[in-house]
Amino acid sequence: MSSPLYAVKVLAVARMKASFDLVSVCEAGCFTVSRLFAASLLFEPFWTQVYAAAGVPWPRRVTGALSARFTADELLDWGACGAPPGEEARLQAIIDVAYGPFRNVPSLAAQPDADGLYRRGLRHGAGAAFAAASRAFHAAVDAAYLRTGAQRFAGLPAVVLHVETSDPAWLSHLEPGMLWDGYGFDDEAPVVI
C-alpha cells in the first residue's frame, strides 16, 4: 500500500455519532467533505492495522456489521472514480459529515455553518480562493515536516471530524483510543482547505 494520507484517532463514539482526530500527514491529505470519504474512514479498521498507542497493536480483532456492507477495494476504487450509479444509495446511512475545530491550518477556502462546523467546501481547482488556500495548506505541511523531527505530527494540519449515521451498526466496531493510518479519499468531493 502507498503512504498514508492521515493519522486517525477515534475520540468519541455515542450511538450514531463519532468524532475522529485527523492529522494530514502528506500534501494529498486534504479535508474532504463527503459521505464516501466518511465511509472509507469508518471502514478502514477492518482492513488496516489498528493500534492502541504508537507501536502497540489494538488488543482485539475489529469486527462489526459494517464489514459486510463494503469491501476495501470497492471504497478505494470509488475514491478515485466516484461511486458507480446505483451504488450511492449504499452511502446514505451517513447523514452528516462536519469538521471543526482545526489546528495548524493557515487558511480555509470555505466558511463554517452557523454552528461553527464546516460541512461545505470548494471543489478542487475552483478559482483563486481555493488556489491560495491550497498553497497555504501545502506550505504548512512542508514547514511542519521540516520542524517535526522526532515529534511525528507536531505542527501538521489537523482537525476533528464529526460523522453522524442513521444506523448505529455503522459505528459499532469503533472505540475511543483506536489509532490507524488513513488511506481513504474522494477525489470528486469538495474540500475545506
Could you tell me the pTM of the whole model?
0.86
9-13, 53-57, 118-122, 183-187: which is most confident? 9-13
Are 95 and 170 within 8 A, CB to CB?
no
Number of H helices, E strands in the chain: 3, 7
> Are the C-beta atoms of residues 24 and 31 closer than 8 Å to each other?
yes
pLDDT at 50: 96
Q: Where are the domains of the chain?
A: 6-182
pLDDT score of 145: 64
Residue-wise pLDDT tens digits, 81-92: 888 888 888 889
pLDDT level of residue 150 (50, 70, 90 thresholds) = very low
Whether the pLDDT of residue 151 is over 60: the answer is no
